[in-house]
Chains A and B, each alone.
Chain A
Amino acid sequence: MNGGSARIICISSGKGGVGKTSLSVNLAAALARKGRKVLLIDGDLGLANVDVLLGLTVSRTLRRTIEEGLDPAALLVEVFPELQVLPASSGVPEMASLSAQEQAVLGAALEPLLDRFDFVLVDTAAGLGESVLWFNDWARENIVIVSPDPTSLTDAYALIKVLRGRYAKERFHLLINNAKTRREADETFATMRSVLTRFLKIEPHRLGEVPQDAAVARAVRLQKPFLLAEPECRAGKAVAAIAAGLLGGS
Chain B
Amino acid sequence: MSRPDSAETERLLRDLEQRVQQYPFRTVRITGSRDELLGLFLLSKDVRLAEGELQTALAGVIRREPAAAETGGAWSAGEIEGGNLEEVLASQIEHTRQTRLPCALILLETDAPAGAPAGMPAAIVDLVRAAVRRSDILLRCDAGRLAVILPSISLREATECAERIRSVLARELRLGEDDAPAVTASIGIGLCYASDRISAETFAARVAQELERARQQGGNRVCRVIDSRAESSCQVSVEERTELFSIFLKDRHS
**If the complex has contacts A1-B99, A154-B241, A198-B243, are A165 and B152 also in contact, measured as CB distance less than 8 A?**
no
Selected interface stretch from A4-12, A58-66, A117-125, A188-196: A188-196
CA distance A158 to B237 in the complex (A): 10
- Residues in A neighbouring B152, C-beta threshold 8 A: 100-101, 103-104
- Is B254 an interface residue, CB under 8 A from the partner? no
A52 and B153 alpha carbons, distance in the complex (Å): 33
Task: Assess whether B132 is interfacial by the CB under 8 Å rule.
Answer: no
Does B154 have its Cβ within 8 Å of any Cβ on chain A? Answer: yes
Say whether A165 contacts B239, CB under 8 Å: no
* Interface size range of chain A in the complex: 20 to 34
Q: Which residue of B lies closest to A200 (CB)?
A: B240
Contact indicator B236/A165 (Cβ below 8 Å): no
Majority-rule SS of A interface residues: helix
Chain A residues within 8 Å of B193, by CB: 166-167
Partner of A154, one of B98, B154, B244: B244
Evaluate contact between B234 and A161: CB separation under 8 angstroms. Answer: yes
In the complex, what residues of A have CB within 8 A of residue B248's CB?
149-150
Question: Any chain B CB within 8 A of the CB of A71?
Answer: no
Cβ of A168 under 8 Å from chain B: yes
Docked pose: A93 CA to B243 CA in angstroms? 35
Complex alpha-carbon distance, A239 and B128, angstroms: 55
Given A157-B240, A162-B234, A166-B229, verify A1-B247 contact (CB < 8 Å). Answer: no
- Min distance, Cβ B247 to any Cβ of chain A, angstroms: 5
Q: With A and B bound together, what is the CA distance between A149 and B243 in angstroms?
A: 13
Q: Render B125-153 as a binary contact track against A, CB cut-off 8 A, 1 for contact.
A: 00000000000000000000000000011
Closest CB in chain B relative to A129 CB, distance in Å: 11
- CB of A137 within 8 A of CB of B100, answer yes
Q: Which of A138, A150, A161 contacts B100 (CB 8 A)?
A: A138
Interface string of B217-243 (1 = CB under 8 A from A): 000000000000110011011011101
Residues of B within 8 A of A154 (CB): 236, 241, 244
165-197 of chain A: CB within 8 A of chain B: 165-168, 187-188, 190-192, 194-195
Contact A166 B230 (CB under 8 A): yes
Which residue of A138, A161, A188, A198 is within 8 Å of B236 (Cβ)? A161
Question: Given that A165-B195, A165-B230, A167-B100 are known contacts, is A150 also in contact with B244, CB under 8 Å in the complex?
Answer: yes
Tell me the complex Cα distance, A84–B236, Å.
Answer: 37
State which of B230, B234, B247 has its C-beta within 8 Å of the C-beta of A158.
Answer: B234
Name which residue of chain A comes closest to B133, CB basis. A101
CA distance A198 to B157 in the complex (A): 35
Please, which residue of chain A has its CB at the minimum distance from the CB of B195? A168
Instruction: Return A48 CB to nearest CB of chain B, in Å.
Output: 22
Interface pairs A-B: 6 shortest CB-CB:
A168-B195, A100-B152, A162-B234, A165-B234, A153-B244, A100-B153
Q: Identify 15 new A-B residue pairs, CB closer than 8 A, beyond the known A138-B100, A157-B240.
A: A1-B99, A99-B157, A100-B153, A100-B157, A101-B152, A104-B99, A150-B245, A157-B244, A158-B234, A166-B234, A167-B193, A167-B194, A187-B247, A191-B244, A199-B240
A–B complex contacts, Cβ < 8 Å, 26 sampled: A1-B98, A1-B99, A99-B154, A100-B102, A100-B152, A100-B153, A100-B157, A104-B101, A104-B152, A130-B154, A137-B100, A138-B100, A148-B247, A157-B236, A162-B234, A165-B234, A166-B234, A167-B193, A167-B195, A168-B194, A187-B247, A191-B246, A194-B243, A195-B240, A195-B244, A199-B239
